[in-house]
Amino acid sequence: MRRIVAGVHGLLAALHVYWATGTTWPAGDERSLSLAVLGGPVSFRPAVVLPLALLHLVLAAAILTSERWKVSRLVVAGLAAGLAARATAGLVWITGAGDMSTAFYWLNLLLYTPLCIALCMADLKMLQARWLKATVVVVPVTLVTMVALVAYVYEPEEQPHPAASADSRYVDTPLARIHYLQRGTGSPVVLLSPGARQQVGAACAVGSGRAGRLELGDSQATAHRRSPGQARHEPRHG
């Protein structure tokens, strides 16, 4: 049993070394590989996958020596706890939290979760203390279940929006609704970044890398080009 479990970790270590070479088999590219293996976009560069390969080798060595060394049995206990947590998370994804249209969902259903359960059970057989066996299963399963309940079941109450202040104003444009605060009197001055475009009612463009002044009226908006020096000396009231 120990040799079989250690062999699985050795195979996983070899697979990570293989990915470190830049090859993305069985996927066509790194993004597809990450989505299939982890369910999200994660880098598979050597700095990421080689430490994982080393970890699997350490786990394989701990499994092979767990019968003789207490430290190895503690490592196996930690491994069993991690596998129990991963198996529980996999069951959560299977029972409704996962997207059935993705490759990760089916790989998790048919391969990842069953493999984690099988390896966890094999690791538990290598442990001698009953309390340790119970702890490495109950604690991670309970924690993952509680996190899943909070993440996927609990719905916090909707918080009311704070009341707008007396000087709050809004400008509706074809692109967005702009919020600003009116302070003082006079026409507002808006400084646009180089190349920016602003639309208020009618389309107004300020280009050529110059700052612009935007005057807002009741039914139209006009934009005036001016040099940065002129914009710097423009009195601002708003």
List the domains of the chain with CATH numbers.
2-152 (1.20.1440), 168-232 (no CATH)
- Report strand pairing: 221-225 vs 177-181: unpaired
pLDDT in tens, 83-118: 999 999 999 999 887 889 999 999 999 999 999 999
Coil vs helix vs strand at 176? coil
Predicted confidence at residue 116, as pLDDT, reads 97
Tell me: the pLDDT tens digits for 139-168?
A: 999 999 999 988 887 777 777 777 777 788
Residue 210 and residue 188: Cα distance in Å, rounded? 18
Work out the average pLDDT over 204-231.
Answer: 39
Mean pLDDT of 163-176: 80
Place of tokens 């080009």: 225
How high is the pLDDT of residue 194? Answer: 62
Show the DSSP H helices in the chain as ranges: 2-20, 30-37, 46-64, 70-92, 103-107, 113-126, 130-152, 228-232
Check if the beta carbon of residue 205 is closer than 8 Å to that of residue 191: no
Whole-number average pLDDT of the chain: 81
Q: Is the pLDDT of residue 205 over 50?
A: no
User: Tell me, what's the pLDDT at 189?
Assistant: 67
Residue 80's closest CA among 93, 69, 99, 66?
Answer: 66
What letters, b where the CB count within 10 A reaches 16 and e where it falls short, cover 91-121?
A: bbbeeeebeeeeebbeebbeebbebbbebbe
pLDDT tens digit string along 113-135? 999 999 999 999 999 899 999 99
Tokens of 229: 């020096």
Task: Determine phi and psi for 171, rounding to 5 degrees.
Answer: -125, 120
Summarised one tens digit per residue, pLDDT across range 44-72 is: 999 999 999 999 999 999 999 999 999 99
Q: Considering Cα of 96, then 98, then 99, then 101, what sign does the dihedral take?
A: negative
Which secondary-structure segment (H or E) carries 202?
strand 202-205
Task: For residue 187, name the pLDDT band (cuts at 50, 70, 90).
Answer: confident
- pLDDT digits over 15-52, tens only? 999 999 999 999 999 999 999 999 999 999 999 999 99
